[in-house]
Structure 1
Amino acid sequence: MTARQGRNIAFTALVLIAAAIWIFPLYWALTTSLRSENRIVADAGVWMDELNFSAYIDVLSTSKLPMWYLNSVGTSVIITVIVLITGMMCAYALSQLRFPGRRLLYLVVVASFMVPVPALYVAQFVLMSDLGLINSWWGIILPQLIVPVVVIVYKQFFDAIPKEMREAVLLDGGGEFTLLFKLYLPLNWGITAALAIITFISAWNNFFWPFLVVTSESMMTIPVGITQVNDSFGVFYARMMALALLAAAPVIVGYLIFQKRVTEAVMISAGVKG
Structure 2
Amino acid sequence: MRRLNLAGLVLALLTLAASVAWAYPLVWAIRTTVVPRADGSVWDGLAVYANALFNSPIGLWYFNSLVTSGTVTAVVIGISAAAGYAISQLEFHGRKLLWYTILASFMIPVQALIVNHFLLMNSWKLINTWAGVILPQLIAPVAVIVYKQFFDSMPKELSEAARVDGASHARVLWSIYLPANWGVTAALAIIVFIGAWNAFLWPFLVVTKEPLMNITVAIGQAEQYLGVSGLAAALLAGLPVAVVYLVFQRKVTEAIMLSSGIKG
Asked if residue 209 in structure 1 is aligned to residue 202 in structure 2, the reply is yes
Distance 2:141 2:6 in 1: 46
Match of 2:57 in 1: 64
Residue 272 of structure 1 aligns to a residue whose secondary structure is coil
Distance 2:189 2:82 in 1: 15
Match of 1:198 in 2: 191
Q: What residue ranges of structure 1 are gaps of 5+ in the alignment?
A: 44-48
Matched AA of 1:270 = S
Aligned pairs (5 A) from 1:1-274: 11-36=11-36, 38-39=37-38, 50-52=42-44, 53-231=46-224, 239-272=229-262
Distance 1:29 1:51 in 2: 16
Matched AA of 1:78 = T
After superposing the two structures, state which structure 1 stretch, 238-247 or 250-259, moved more.
238-247
Distance 1:106 1:7 in 2: 43
Distance 1:258 1:103 in 2: 35
Q: What residue ranges of structure 2 are gaps of 5+ in the alignment?
A: none
Distance 1:155 1:3 in 2: 42
After superposing the two structures, state which structure 1 stretch, 136-145 or 11-20, moved more.
11-20
Contact 2:199 2:216 in 1 (8 A): yes
Distance 1:7 1:107 in 2: 42
Distance 2:134 2:114 in 1: 13
Note the C-alpha offset of 1:186.
Answer: 0.5
Contact 2:223 2:229 in 1 (8 A): no
Identity percentage over the alignment? Answer: 48
Residue 246 of structure 1 aligns to a residue whose secondary structure is helix
Note the C-alpha offset of 1:209.
Answer: 0.3
Matched AA of 2:71 = I
When normalised by structure 2's length, the TM-score is: 0.91
Residue 229 of structure 2 aligns to a residue whose secondary structure is helix
Contact 2:88 2:152 in 1 (8 A): yes
Note the C-alpha offset of 1:35.
Answer: 1.8
Contact 1:58 1:239 in 2 (8 A): no
After superposing the two structures, state which structure 1 stretch, 22-31 or 11-20, moved more.
11-20
Matched AA of 2:257 = M
Distance 1:83 1:14 in 2: 37
Distance 1:8 1:212 in 2: 46
What is the CA RMSD across the aligned residues, in angstroms?
A: 2.3
Distance 1:273 1:118 in 2: 24
Distance 1:6 1:195 in 2: 37
Matched AA of 1:114 = M
Residue 115 of structure 1 aligns to a residue whose secondary structure is coil
- CA displacement, residues 38-72 of structure 1 (integer Å, 9 cap, x when unaligned): 43xx89xxxxx744212112212332100110000
When normalised by structure 1's length, the TM-score is: 0.88
After superposing the two structures, state which structure 1 stretch, 128-137 or 250-259, moved more.
128-137
Using a 3 Å threshold, how does the CA distance of structure 1 residues 239 and 59 change in structure 2: closer, same or farther?
farther
Note the C-alpha offset of 1:80.
Answer: 0.3
Matched AA of 2:139 = I
Matched AA of 2:113 = L
Matched AA of 2:248 = F
Contact 1:55 1:239 in 2 (8 A): no
Distance 1:76 1:122 in 2: 22
Residue 80 of structure 1 aligns to a residue whose secondary structure is helix
